[in-house]
């Protein structure tokens, strides 16, 4: 009998995993069965001989429609300038240390030679 208030739009429903396991599926077919108690759906398949294949259990989550913010794939000028300035300062320190090192070695060698 047709009931105009009961519409399932082609979706199969069950209550829990036990309901999905007992859901009738004809041989050679696969059916998606939605759980009415949890955010879960089951994929039940039966081979052509009528033997049920292992039940696949899937959980689903609802996606929000909020736009995703894209990560910046660029460097802002201020940040780049600060980084370059810091790098140049450290590079100057290293160059200064390298310049001092040979003088100390030369002085040490002269003292050791005397």
Buried b (16+ CB within 10 A) or exposed e, 40-65: bbbebebeeeeeeeeeeeeeeeeeee
Among candidates 47, 41, 52, 39, which has minimal Cα distance to 12?
41
The predicted-structure confidence for 16-45, as pLDDT tens digits, reads as follows 999 999 999 999 999 999 999 999 999 999
First-to-last alpha carbon distance for the chain, in angstroms, is 117
The predicted-structure confidence for 46-91, as pLDDT tens digits, reads as follows 999 999 999 999 998 888 887 777 777 888 889 899 999 999 999 9
Supply 87's token pair.
């790098």
Residues 6 or more apart whose Cβ sits within 8 Å of residue 66: none
């Amino acid at each position: 009998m047709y009931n105009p208030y009961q519409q399932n739009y082609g979706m199969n429903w069950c209550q829990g995993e036990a309901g999905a396991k007992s859901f009738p599926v004809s041989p050679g077919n696969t059916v998606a069965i939605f759980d009415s108690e949890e955010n879960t759906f089951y994929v039940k398949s039966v081979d052509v001989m009528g033997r049920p294949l292992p039940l696949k259990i899937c959980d689903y989550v609802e996606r929000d429609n909020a736009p995703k913010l894209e990560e910046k794939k660029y460097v802002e000028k201020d940040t780049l300038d600060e980084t370059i300035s810091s790098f140049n300062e450290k590079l100057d320190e290293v160059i200064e240390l390298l310049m001092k090192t040979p003088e100390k070695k030369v002085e040490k060698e002269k003292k050791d030679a005397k």
